[in-house]
Amino acid sequence: MMKKKLAVLVLALCVAGAVLSGCGQTEAGESGRQPENQTEIQAPASQPEQEENSAESPAEGGVETSKEANVFTGWLPAGVEQVMAETEANPELEQAIIDYYEIPEESWGTTKYYYNYVDLNGDGKEEILAVVMGPYTSGSGGSSLLWVLPHADMAVNQAFTLINTPIIVTKEATNGQEFGAKGLIVQRSGGGGETEFVLLTCSDGIYKGAGDGEVLDSLDGVEGTAIICNDLIADMENGDYLTLEKVSSAS
């Protein structure tokens, strides 16, 4: 009887030792591999430190960005969802841009565009807001914006100037109607004036331009969706953008 008890005790001690030994190897293995994986996948490895640095060091014009993720991290309020621009080239949209601005073929490769699908009046039909940047569409105050209707053969409904990204599409219609047009909030700068935020409202199917928008004292309480939330500086450095040069091969 005594021998059986000793045998059981020895067996229990062996099993406990094996479990403790195995746990120690697992923890050591994970803590040993993780920095290597982070170094290979993320460069640099310290993500939290990068975010603190980006928040303290805004890019030109006071705009804060996160170059690692190519995501804009600047002035957008907490109640606004951030959406990156579409990454797939859109030949029909490209052709509409070329036709509207009469951009010659030699400038297609230097004309960049960003776009998102939106529903500005809540009717369930997708529209496109496309920011176009290039020698024919940009200046010191910003770039051009096209409001395009895919359901109407890519017809240009309206063109804007002096546009900077991102663009906030307000959650509610500015006229209070269920299917009324939502507002657009943009950052207006350049021309020696102070940087300010303006609300563009729509009347009879046409929005006010950036130069005529209502100046907002604060963005507190603003809700909606911000489109084209790309870090443009990082995109230009990395070549992460769309140009019009693919039109020639698609046509």
How is 198-245 classified by DSSP, letter by letter? EEEPEETTEEPPGGGSEEES--TT--EEEE--B-HHHHHHHT-SEEGG
Query: Is 231 a member of any domain?
Result: yes
pLDDT per residue, tens digit, the chain (251 aa), is 444 444 444 444 444 444 334 433 333 333 333 333 333 323 333 333 333 333 333 333 334 444 445 676 688 998 899 999 999 999 999 999 999 999 999 999 999 999 999 999 888 899 999 999 999 999 988 999 999 999 999 999 999 999 999 999 999 998 766 557 999 999 998 666 788 999 999 988 899 999 999 999 999 999 999 999 999 999 999 999 999 986 655 54
> Do both 34 and 119 map to the same domain?
no
Degrees, nearest 5: CA angle 177-181-186: 130
> Do both 100 and 39 map to the same domain?
no
Q: Which amino acid, one-letter code, is at 118? A: V
Range of the domain at 143: 65-250
Query: Is 50 a member of any domain?
Result: no
> Do both 36 and 82 map to the same domain?
no
pTM over 0.85: no
The count of other CB atoms within 10 Å of the CB of residue 105 is 11
Degrees, nearest 5: CA angle 226-230-233: 140
Q: Which among 131, 179, 121 is positioned nearest to 151, based on CA atoms?
A: 121
